[in-house]
Each structure stands twice: as C-alpha cells, then as structure tokens.
Chain A
Amino acid sequence: SYEVTQPLSVSVALGQTATITCEGDNIGSKHVHWYQQKPGQAPVLVIYKDNNRPSGIPDRFSGSNSGNTATLTISKVHGDEADYYCQVWDSSQVFFGGGTKLTVL
C-alpha cells in the first residue's frame, strides 16, 4: 500500500497564492493528478500528469512534482474554496491523498 499524505487544511487570503502539498515515497517518479471537489459536487480534474491543465481550468492552477513532494499551486485565489485531492498509481492500484480543505480568508 502506497501512502500519500496531504495537510488537512490550508488557509490563504483572497487574491494570494495557495500551496497544497502531496507527500509520498519517491512520488517524483510517478505522475500525480489533482482534483477539486466543492461541497455536494463530484470531483473535477484540475491538474494531470504533474503540471498539465485540462481545458477550461484557469492558468491560475499549476503543479509540480519532485523528490518526495508534489505541489498544487493556486495563484490569485478567489472562488476556489474546496477540498483538493492528489492521486497516483502504484502497484496496479490507485491511491488518493486524504484531501486538503482550502479556506479563503
């Protein structure tokens, strides 16, 4: 079983930059994908393969992945309050991080 660890919560002031981490053993050797989930809604893919944005996702969303940490960065935060989950594949199974609640102050 592959463990993926995210902070429970991240707070950021309106208009500032939010950084959400996803830690795992040598996670830099894997592709990491990120999902946004707002209350009562299905998850939405916001970053795939470490640093790629699906069509329709603002360029305020970006990602990186190296060593034991992958990072989702959201710049100029507004309307982005949600839970964020990272996802990886390992040993023929999918693993999600526990999720990070982003609060905009």
Chain B
Amino acid sequence: EVHLLESGGGLVQPGGSLRLSCAASGFTFRDYAMTWVRQAPGKGLEWVSAISSGGAKTHYSDSVKGRFTISRDNPKSSLYLQLNSLRAEDTAVYFCAKANSSSSAFSYFDDWGQGTLVTVSS
C-alpha cells in the first residue's frame, strides 16, 4: 500500500523559509514522478511543482517559480520542497502526491499524502 507522509510545516514569518519533506513507502519511489499541490484554507487545489522520477526535470507554477525548489532523494525515498521568500498567500496545506509514471509531464496523481500546514504570518 502506498503511503506518503508530509512533514516540515509550521508558522513562519513573511520573507522566511521552510523545507517540506515527504516520506514515501509502499512503492518503488525511484520509478515515479512526484508533485506538490497546495490548498489554502477554504479554497481549491493549486498545483505547485513536479519532478521527474530521476530528478532531472522539474516544473513550477508561475506563482512559485524562482522562490520554491523541488528535489528528491531516491535512495531515501523522499521528496522535498524548499520554500523561500514566503508570502501570506503561500499559507496552505501542502500535499505531496505520486504521479502515475516516471515522467513529470502529462501525468495524473494517483496517491496523495494527508498534507502539512504552512502558515505565513507575522
């Protein structure tokens, strides 16, 4: 059974940084692309970033490009999201999700974690 566990969320001041982690188990992590999706309180889903299975290809939404960095450590079966220059509008639950294939493009997301809350406030 696929299991994805996010961690690293918390309260951070505007302009601050945070690193989110997603520990994966129950599947061969190195074979699948992964993604981060966020959801602001009471709002809809917003895609953040995706990374190919080997880590060579990454994609970002326009709203986070240049501020967030996605990465992965395949031997550790872990996905990361480095959040820099945080703004109030980045406040959200951040979900990691597994893609259906090794390619980060044109995929859908067939397993999701429960999310970790990031709150950006002074």
Interface residues of A (CB under 8 A from B): 1, 31, 33, 35, 37, 41-45, 48-49, 54, 83, 85, 87, 89, 92-99
Is the CB–CB distance between A93 and B59 below 8 Å? yes
Interchain Cβ contacts within 8 Å, total number? 62
| Contact pick for A85, options B45, B105, B113, B114, CB 8 Å | B45
Using a CB–CB cutoff of 8 Å, the interface residues on chain B facing chain A are 35, 37, 44-47, 50, 59-62, 95, 97, 100, 105-110, 112-115
CB-nearest residue of chain B to A87:
B108
Whether B45 lies near A95 (C-beta < 8 A) is: no
In the complex, A99→B50 CA distance in Å?
21
Question: Bound complex: CA of A75 vs CA of B113, how far in Å?
Answer: 28
Q: Contact between A95 and B47 (Cβ–Cβ < 8 Å)?
A: yes
Residue among B100, B106, B112 making CB contact with A43, cutoff 8 Å: B112
Shortest 4 CB-CB distances between A and B: which pairs? A94-B47, A33-B108, A42-B112, A99-B44
When distances are taken between beta carbons in the complex, the residues of chain A under 8 Å from B45 are 35, 37, 43, 85, 87, 96, 99
The reply to whether B44 and A98 contact each other, CB–CB distance below 8 Å, is yes
Query: Does A48 lie within 8 Å of B110, measured CB to CB?
Result: yes
Given contacts A95-B47, A98-B44, contact A89 B105 (CB under 8 A): yes
Closest Cβ neighbor of B115 among chain A residues: A42
**Chain B residue at minimal CB-CB distance from A89:** B106
CB of A96 within 8 A of CB of B47, answer yes
Question: Which A residues are in CB contact (< 8 Å) with B95?
Answer: 42-43
In the complex, which residues of chain A have a beta carbon less than 8 angstroms from the beta carbon of B106?
A: 31, 89
